[in-house]
Structure 1
Amino acid sequence: MKILIKILFIVFLIWSILGVYLINTEHEKAKIVMGLCVLYLSFIFMPIFIYYRYRDGKYKKYIINDDKLRNAFKQQGKG
């Protein structure tokens, strides 16, 4: 999965560089290439990356729940 994400990111970088080059040379299809690059980033690369990063429940330490709030207020009252 990690290799897939690296390959997809490299494809995105190459695609972006190509799009910028086409825009600078005023090619007629430059806006289409950049638009497809943004769609690729939004609907293919980012969902796979987000799934990879948060599949093991690593996000749970960043969620605020009642216990964390109570502990924070208790520590604030002591100091």
Structure 2
Amino acid sequence: MRILLSIIFIAIAGSAGYGFYIKPEDYSTGELFIGLSIAGLFFIWMPIFIYHRWRKRNFKDYMLTKENIDKMRDEGKEKKL
């Protein structure tokens, strides 16, 4: 998954760089490459990245439930002693 994310990111960055490179010569094509790069970054790369980072996490650990609040209070009391 990391390799796929790296390849997609490099392709998006290369596309944006190419868009900025050709923008002075051909404005509309440069803007198209830059716009597609930004769209690819937010609609393709970012959801894959978020899924990759959160797939092995337990969401209940990050929710404020009564058990988690009590656990935080107990840890705080232990640090003060």
* TM-score normalised by structure 1 residue count: 0.72
Q: Once structures 1 and 2 are overlaid, which stretch shifts more, 25-34 or 48-57?
A: 25-34
CA contact (8 A) 2:5 2:49 kept: yes
Identify if the C-alpha distance between structure 1 residues 21 and 58 changes in structure 2 by more than 3 Å, giving closer, same or farther.
Answer: farther
Q: Unpaired runs of 5+ in structure 2?
A: none
- Give me the whole-angstrom Cα distance separating, in 2, the residues matched to 1:45 and 1:21: 22
Specify which of 61, 69, 73 is matched with residue 70 of structure 1: 73
Letter in 1 for 2:9: F
- Give me the whole-angstrom Cα distance separating, in 2, the residues matched to 1:2 and 1:74: 40
Determine whether 1:53 maps to 2:53.
yes
Deviating beyond 2 angstroms after TM superposition, the runs of 4 or more aligned structure 1 residues are: 58-61, 71-76
Q: Unpaired runs of 5+ in structure 1?
A: none
Identify if the C-alpha distance between structure 1 residues 6 and 67 changes in structure 2 by more than 3 Å, giving closer, same or farther.
Answer: same
Q: Which residue of 1 aligns with 2:3?
A: 3
Determine whether 1:19 maps to 2:19.
yes
* TM-score normalised by structure 2 residue count: 0.71
Task: Report the CA distance between 1:5 and its aligned residue.
Answer: 1.0
- Give me the whole-angstrom Cα distance separating, in 1, the residues matched to 2:19 and 2:60: 38
Structure with the bigger RCO (C-alpha within 8 Å, sep 6+) is 1
